[in-house]
Amino acid sequence: MERRATIKDVAEAAGVGVATVSRVLSGGSASPRTRERVLAVAAQLDYRPSALGRNLRQRRTGGMGLLVPDLTDTFYGQLAEGVLACARSAGEPVVLGSTGGDPEQESELIGMLLEQSVDRLIAVPSGDAETWAPAIRAGMTVVFADRLPAPAAAEEDVRAAALTDLLALDGLPATPQTRPLDVPAVVADDRAGIRTAVRYLRGLGHKRIAFLGGPGHDRRVAAFREAVGAPVDEELVVFGTGSRDSAYAAASGLFQSRPDLSAVVTGGNVLGEAAVLAARELDLRVPRDVSLVMYDDVPWAELCSPPLTVIAQPGRDMGYRAAELVLRAGTRKPRSVVLPTELIIRGSCGPRR
């Protein structure tokens, strides 16, 4: 393992000062003669500027951090691919962390990124505003993707505050008092997605429609509540904690406690998976006994039988756009982006029996 050539080596070999080499390589001014010589020598020595030196000098790391709950969830895989694609085309490194949906791990990872001087971050947040305050205070440029962190547990009615704030992004009325974090985000148009799905199910005659959600699905539940309209049958709105086991338990519990439901909308693909499994276990036929609409279009949705009707959201685009935002953040103050969803009708919904 031979030592890599440094800028000094290049300077000496080219008979110029290090400053000149630096300038030439970063596109600064230099006489054609010098530039040519430096370039030649650099190529000859296979010189690659050390990011370490540059970063220390500039007191910041290039590239960006990426925090997702779980790479085993295909949707986050798609999202990550989008981020990586954008980063690659910008030649920037991506430091990845998986939080497992745990705010504490998320905090630790934020700390780790801070330590690395990674000052740009794309995150599918698991913690609330309080978890994120340190990152913001430290001057990180963060862009949220897929969802927003819940407002901090401040006043009395956290949940209400969360919902009004989150709904605001989709155009629902919000009380302006609670603007917890001023961070741009790239999210899907959950409101439209859910609304379309609920309407579709309604059109098939379904009355008792359940919602099966998980962490981070606040905006989706809110939209669901809005779409089904008051009064909401609260027993038909259930949550898992994020793990596959808990998702399965939630789905199974739902089906057993409310055998009268005829359709369910899930807030994510892991919950959709759980619903299919639980239904099968309980001998509920899809769509004869129960209709199913799942959030996220993942490749295996088509493999199920019947193939799953889904609310597709562009995971890859979401990641790509988020990466763009975080990279351009220096230039202009980024504005949040809402990406369209699409109801893809396959075979998991039928008329109410």
State the nearest-atom distance from the C-beta of 95 to a second copy, in Å.
5
Of 241 and 300, nearer to a second copy (C-beta) is 300
State the binding partner of 7 from DNA, a second copy, none, CB within 5 to 8 A by kind.
Answer: DNA
In the complex, what is the shortest distance from the CB of residue 343 to DNA, in angstroms, rounded to a whole number?
49
Q: Tell me which of DNA, a second copy, none is bound by residue 329, counting a contact when its beta carbon lies within the kind-specific cut-off of 5 to 8 angstroms.
A: none
The residues, ordered by sequence, that sit 6+ positions from 182 with a Cβ below 8 Å of its Cβ are none
Q: Which does 39 bind (CB under 5 to 8 A by kind): a second copy, DNA, none?
A: none
Angle between helices 315-328 and 74-89 (to 10 degrees): 40
* Residue nearer to DNA on the CB measure, 62 or 125: 62
C-alpha–C-alpha distance, residues 65 and 283, integer Å: 44
Pick out residues in 36-95 that bind DNA (CB under 7 A): 48-50, 52-54, 56-59
Neighbours of 321 (CB within 10 A): 21
Nearest to 91 by CA among 267, 323, 337, 290: 323
Considering the complex, what minimum distance in angstroms separates the CB of residue 134 from a second copy?
9
CB of 20 or CB of 266, closer to DNA: 20
30 binds, among DNA, a second copy, none (CB under 5 to 8 A by kind): DNA
Interface pick for DNA out of 2, 27, 29, 137 (rule CB under 7 A):
29
Surface-to-core class of residue 230, CB atoms within 10 Å of its CB (0-12 exposed, 13-18 middle, 19+ buried): exposed
- Partner from DNA, a second copy, none contacting 345, C-beta within 5 to 8 A by type: none
Strands 237-239 and 291-295: unpaired
User: Following DSSP, what letter does each residue of 306-336 receive, concatenated?
Assistant: SPPEEEE--HHHHHHHHHHHHHHTTTS----
By CB under 7 A, tell whether 207 contacts DNA.
no
CB of 48 or CB of 328, closer to a second copy: 48
| Whole-Å CA distances, 12 to 6, 43, 53, 127 | 10, 14, 18, 52
d(CA 178, CA 159): 12
- Of 215 and 319, the one with the shorter C-beta distance to a second copy is 319
CB of 28 to a second copy, least distance (A): 19
Is residue 20 near DNA by the rule CB under 7 A?
A: yes
Q: How many Cβ atoms sit within 10 Å of the Cβ of residue 300? A: 12
CA 348 – CA 309 distance, rounded (Å): 5
Tokens of 233: 């049958």
| Between 56 and 345, CB nearer to a second copy | 56
User: Could you tell me the sign of the dihedral formed by the alpha carbons of 131, 132, 134, 137, in that order?
Assistant: negative
Gap between the Cα atoms of 157 and 337, Å rounded:
28
Q: What does 336 interact with, of DNA, a second copy, none (CB < 5 to 8 A by kind)?
A: none
Q: Which does 16 bind (CB under 5 to 8 A by kind): a second copy, DNA, none?
A: DNA
Binding residues for a second copy (CB under 8 A)? 1-2, 4, 48-53, 55-56, 59, 61, 63, 66, 70-74, 76-78, 80-81, 84-85, 88, 91, 93-98, 105, 108-109, 111-117, 137-139, 244, 273, 276-277, 298-300, 302-305
Site residues (CB under 7 A) for DNA? 3-4, 6-8, 15-23, 25-26, 29-31, 33-35, 48-50, 52-54, 56-59
